[in-house]
Amino acid sequence: MPRIYDSANEPHDFCRACFPLEMEADERYGGEGDGPDGRGNCFAYDAEHPDYEGLEYECEDCGEELGEDDN
């Protein structure tokens, strides 16, 4: 947690407080599409992500820097 890949396989990172419910995330990021290489919709909820601590990732919604608590 807390990363979402949209239908085009682009990552979206969130702090735990802003991480949307799966139904909301699917509406916002799932959509339709063929992904970057024509393989279909690449939507993924609660996907693997790098260790956020010290890497300067920011929450897409609130802009706070992600850290240990968000891993």
Give the predicted TM-score (pTM) of the model: 0.84
User: What CA–CA distance (Å, rounded) separates 62 from 58?
Assistant: 8
The pLDDT of residue 31: 74
pLDDT digits (tens, 9 = 90+) for 24-60: 999 999 877 666 666 668 899 989 898 998 899 999 9
User: What CA–CA distance (Å, rounded) separates 49 from 34?
Assistant: 22
The pLDDT of residue 24: 95
Q: Torsion-angle region of residue 31: left (phi > 0), alpha (psi -120 to 50) or beta?
A: left
- pLDDT bracket for residue 18 (50, 70, 90): very high
Neighbours of 33 (CB within 10 A): 15
The pLDDT of residue 13: 96
Radius of gyration of the chain (CA): 12
